[in-house]
Amino acid sequence: MANSKVIYKITYPNEKIFIGKDLTNILNYYGSADSKIIEQDFPEEERKVFIIKKEIIWESQTASDQLANQKEIECIKDNNSNNPQIGYNRWPKRMK
């Protein structure tokens, strides 16, 4: 849905994930994961054909930006994507 707010999950070829939000639901937006961190996991040869999957895991046409921000944090925690063994989110910091 155009103009809806979405939370998405990107799955990389190594099965690590990144959770992000897009307040405009632009199809070609793939988030702001740290490229340097991701590049460490993929040698040059593996970058020649690089397939990722983007899934919308939450969406709303009526939610406030604040609610979308809260949902993003909730989804990061629920998916444990801020655990470097599982995902590429580096925020919010994990509690030890």
- Could you report the per-residue pLDDT of 63-74, keeping only the tens digit for each? 999 999 999 999
> Is residue 67 domain-resident?
yes
> Is residue 68 domain-resident?
yes
Count of structural domains within the chain: 1
Q: How many residues make up the chain in this entry? A: 96
> Is residue 35 domain-resident?
yes
> Is residue 16 domain-resident?
yes
pTM score, whole prediction: 0.92
Residue 1 has pLDDT above 80, yes or no: no
- What CA dihedral angle connects 42, 46, 30 and 86, to 10 degrees? -40
- Gap between the Cα atoms of 83 and 48, Å rounded: 27
> What is the domain extent for residue 29?
5-79
Which pLDDT tens digit goes with each residue over 25-56?
988 989 899 999 999 999 999 999 999 999 99
Distances (CA, A) of 51 to 9, 11, 12, 40, 89: 14, 9, 7, 16, 19
> Is residue 15 domain-resident?
yes
Mean pLDDT confidence for 18-22: 97
> Is residue 86 domain-resident?
no
> Is residue 92 domain-resident?
no
